[in-house]
Amino acid sequence: MSKAYDRVEWQFVEATMRKMGFGERWIGWIMKCIKSVVYKVLINGQPRGKITPNRGYVREILYLPTFILCTEVLISNLKRAESVKSLTGLKVARASPPVSHLLFADDSLFFCKATVEESAVLLQILQNYERASGQKINFDKSSIQFGHTVETTVRAEIHQMLAEADKRLDIKVLSKGGKEVMSIVSARPLVCKGLIKRVGSGSSISVWYDPWISDSCPRPAICKGINYYPHLTVNQLINSQTSTWNRPLLQQFFESEEITRITGIPVATGYKPDTWGWFYTTTGRYTVKSGYTVLQELSQMRGHYQFGPDTRRLQAQSWKVKCTTKLQHFLWQIITGCLSVGARLCSRGMRVDPLCVRCGMGDET
């Protein structure tokens, strides 16, 4: 559940206790405790204002039993569906009772047959519980798992049904892949900078546009003149009869240093397809460690440390000063320029007064 304690509607809690047969006086006491919460906002170190919520729990042990009572509503709906054979729980043995759910605090695990019908029933129960209680499923941290015998077509139908339901609920796809996919997409520019095209036959590699030259980073070839064939491919630079580089042709297009790099690339004998590889590892496979190293090097190349002295050693020393951790972190913020002072906030586009609040003579730095 997403922010399970903060979203519970108080009316739902009260109705649940009344439905379970709690006395009115007891319900009144519990609801008075829950509704007694008042929030204030700290402004310049002083509590100001008054915010009275109409939902949510303060995470105290006193209120946790009522939160568990709310989950009983979800459990009863699951049991009702199971009793009318709309849902089928998981059995660990033939004689064992079926298990349709496992709940722990705000984490839940549901079991049903991998059919579109049972998946639709389970989804409907969850949607009804959301509307009644005010809680929301955290689809970013949710996933669906199938058994190895489930057919691909059935998996696709269930995925499609869940995706359509997610659009109606204005939420993301019910898959733990969402976060991973977004991470991969955000790293795409880095991956593109580290890819190199390995020469096989060379027929699919553009001399001037594809990264096939090994330098400090993969890059296309550099022409020594302004007149060149824009659609030239690498296989046209290779003597097909001897499977060697055509040096007279190379000398026509490239400087001697570039020719040395090109002739250092081995030429395949016979047909071999061109392949992509990761330039920064010997195996050609991407690793997180190599990607992080490349990212750090690119940051330095952009000039992150070109203004003023190099403070990296000083940053490391700030954590060795004999003082409290809070002061060590404060020193590190001063050295790295991470403090939210007026000048820094203005440089980030925030509309604040950059002047020093103490002297008013210059920017707050």
What pLDDT, in 10s, does the model give residues 125-151?
A: 888 888 887 777 776 777 788 888 888
- pLDDT for 324 beyond 70: yes
**At residue 284, does pLDDT exceed 80?**
yes
Cα–Cα distance, 210 to 197 (Å, whole number): 7
Residue 167: pLDDT band with limits 50, 70, 90: very low
CA separation for the pair 233, 304 (Å, rounded): 37
Average of pLDDT values for 80-84? 88
Burial of 192 (0-12, 13-18, 19+ CB in 10 A): exposed
pLDDT over 80 (residue 249):
yes
What does the pLDDT average to over 14-22? 85
pLDDT tens digits, one per residue of 168-223: 433 344 444 455 566 666 777 778 888 999 999 888 999 988 999 988 889 999 88
What the block records as the tokens of 168 is 């109606």
Buried b (16+ CB within 10 A) or exposed e, 101-135: beeeeeebebbbebeeebbebbbebbeebbebbbb
Q: What is the mean pLDDT of residues 11-20?
A: 84
Percent of the chain past pLDDT 70, that is, above it, reads 83
CA distance 161 to 176: 16
C-alpha span between 130 and 126 (Å, rounded) = 6
In whole angstroms, give the CA distance from residue 337 to residue 365: 9
- The rounded distance, in Å, linking the Cα atoms of 57 and 10 is 9
Whether 39 shows a pLDDT value over 60: the answer reads yes
Pull the structure tokens for residue 59. 């995470």
pLDDT of residue 198: 92
At 196 the three-state DSSP class reads strand
Q: Report residue 245's pLDDT band, with 50, 70 and 90 as the boundaries.
A: very high
What does the mean pLDDT of the chain come to? 79
- Biggest CA–CA distance in the chain, Å, is 99
pTM of the model: 0.42
pLDDT at 174: 44
